[in-house]
């Protein structure tokens, strides 16, 4: 599928509202889906961190000299989080989850939630996934996704209940790699409540652009930052759903993840807006840790202002929103102006709704996780620099006539793969 853009392209790798598909949860009007899809992927070799190409591209080690995310708590609403993997040892605050809300929060029935938690705050110990914000801590909330047994459903709370609980916690960031194409009034209500409590919310925009491109919720609700997925060249995945509810883009292709809930091995080549959401959430944690007095509005505003793009500041794309997330551009500028603490940087989108996408059906839809997938369609180009081949057979199509680039660290994706130290 060829994608064209009304504007030129992107210049800052990785950087709406109203409807979508929710993964990993069962809402009143439809089940949620997790926004990754592992379709018979191959197991990854021992050096899993060498597969995390975006750590080099985003200059992670340079950022960690300024901020690791210490002091920031990220609520992960997903399939649960296993706190016993080497990378998550002492990183998961399971005791902070209300027992009546998510009492199975540390029992991951899929492996997806644990993958997202490691991508956010994993220490990389034992050769595990290295989180972008290893100083942050995870507060796990297990929520329902489609295709679950009746027993698991009985033991897992609805998404609305988990968001409400996270809103009442002291977690500053709520990361939701889930989606549903059905509007749930209960979820929409608690999203507004979480916003009123000062939470910064990120959600996956969805992985079905090549077939339906329905609007995805909660990404499309007001006050939720919708995150699209891009690769090591800054190309937006052909599967990554688009529309005016897309706010930012983040690395979401060829990212490793746990193969399943046995936690025996990692799998390679995972593509999905799930991983993009986790990495965007980790980016926010790095910034908030460095500026603990900022509000959610100020953290998000600086992410938008510094996002990689080729068009003018303040303009957006239906494929990557305001651009690709570049937390280093915030961290390295001690004089950056975060703007008003009380002003919503997405006030225009939050007040006007979503346009330019296919409306969702009226019949209930199942929820699925935005888990990794291996798409075969095209994507929009986000970066035009050279990088080592990742082995992905996906075809990419330039975003705009010039095939502009999205920048992650301050330069286009010039990715140098190297063995990472843990």
Catalytic residue among 56, 78, 216, 271: 78
- Give pLDDT tens digits for 248-301: 999 999 999 999 999 999 998 899 999 999 999 999 999 999 999 999 999 999
Region of poorest pLDDT, from 69-73, 93-97, 151-155:
151-155
HSE (side-chain half, CA atoms, 13 Å) at 328: 23
pLDDT band at 26 (very low <50, low <70, confident <90, very high): very low
Is residue 125's pLDDT more than 80?
yes
Q: Does the pLDDT value for residue 87 go beyond 60?
A: yes
Reported confidence tier of residue 242, pLDDT bands at 50, 70, 90: very high
Region 327-353: mean pLDDT is: 91
All structural domains of the chain: 26-370 (3.40.50.200)
Residue 112 appears among annotated catalytic residues:
yes
Q: Name the 3-class secondary structure at 341.
A: coil
Q: What is the predicted pLDDT for the residue at 68?
A: 98
Q: Is pLDDT at 375 greater than 70 in this prediction? A: no
Query: Which of the residues 37, 59, 87, 112 is marked catalytic?
Result: 112
Query: Of all helices (H) and strands (E), which one includes residue 256?
Result: strand 255-258
Residue 33: pLDDT band (50, 70, 90) is confident
C-alpha span between 136 and 204 (Å, rounded): 20
Q: Which two tokens stand for residue 305?
A: 């202002």
Out of 23, 87, 240, 274, the active site residue is: 274
Can you give the three-state secondary structure of 185-236, one letter per residue?
HHHHHHHHHHHHCCCEEEEECCCCCCCCCECCECCCCCCEEEEEEECCCCCE
Of residues 195, 204, 205, the one with CA closest to residue 318: 205
Query: Would you say residue 24 has pLDDT above 50?
Result: no
On whether the pTM is more than 0.75, the answer is yes
Which tokens belong to 352? 């006007």
């Amino acid at each position: 599928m060829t994608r064209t853009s009304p504007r030129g392209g992107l210049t800052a790798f990785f950087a709406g509202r109203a409807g979508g598909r929710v993964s990993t949860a069962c809402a009143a009007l439809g089940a949620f889906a997790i926004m990754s899809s592992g379709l018979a992927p191959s197991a990854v070799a021992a050096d899993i961190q060498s597969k995390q190409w975006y750590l080099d591209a985003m200059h992670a080690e340079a950022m960690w000299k300024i901020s690791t995310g210490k002091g920031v708590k990220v609520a992960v609403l997903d399939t649960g989080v296993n706190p016993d993997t080497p990378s998550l040892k002492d990183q998961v605050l399971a005791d902070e989850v209300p027992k009546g809300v998510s009492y199975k929060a540390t029992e991951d029935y899929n492996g997806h939630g644990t993958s997202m938690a490691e991508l956010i705050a994993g220490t990389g110990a034992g050769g595990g996934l290295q989180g972008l914000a290893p100083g942050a801590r995870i507060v796990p909330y297990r929520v329902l996704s489609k295709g679950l047994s009746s027993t698991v459903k009985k033991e897992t709370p609805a998404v609305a209940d988990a968001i409400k609980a996270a809103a009442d916690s002291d977690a500053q960031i709520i990361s939701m790699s889930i989606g549903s194409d059905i509007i749930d009034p209960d979820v929409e209500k608690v999203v507004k409540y979480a916003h009123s409590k000062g939470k910064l919310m990120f959600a996956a925009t969805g992985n079905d652009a090549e077939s339906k491109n329905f609007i995805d919720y909660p990404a499309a609700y007001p006050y939720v930052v919708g995150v699209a997925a891009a690769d090591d060249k800054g190309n937006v995945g052909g599967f990554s759903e688009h529309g005016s509810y897309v706010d930012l883009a983040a690395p979401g292709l060829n990212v490793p993840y746990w193969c399943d809930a046995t936690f025996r091995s990692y799998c390679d080549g995972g593509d999905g807006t799930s991983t993009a959401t986790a990495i965007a959430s980790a980016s926010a944690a790095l910034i908030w840790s460095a500026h603990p007095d900022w509000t959610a509005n100020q953290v998000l505003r600086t992410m938008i202002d510094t996002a990689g793009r080729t068009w003018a500041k303040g303009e957006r794309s239906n494929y990557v929103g305001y651009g690709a997330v570049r937390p280093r551009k915030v961290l390295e500028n001690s004089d950056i102006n975060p703007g008003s603490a009380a002003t919503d940087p997405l006030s225009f989108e939050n007040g006007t709704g979503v346009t330019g996408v296919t409306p969702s059906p009226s019949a209930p839809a199942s929820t699925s996780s935005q888990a990794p997938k291996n798409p075969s369609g095209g994507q929009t180009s986000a970066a035009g620099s050279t990088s080592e081949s990742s082995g992905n057979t996906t075809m990419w199509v330039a975003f705009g006539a010039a095939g502009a680039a999205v920048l992650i660290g301050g330069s286009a994706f010039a990715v140098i793969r190297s063995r990472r130290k843990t």
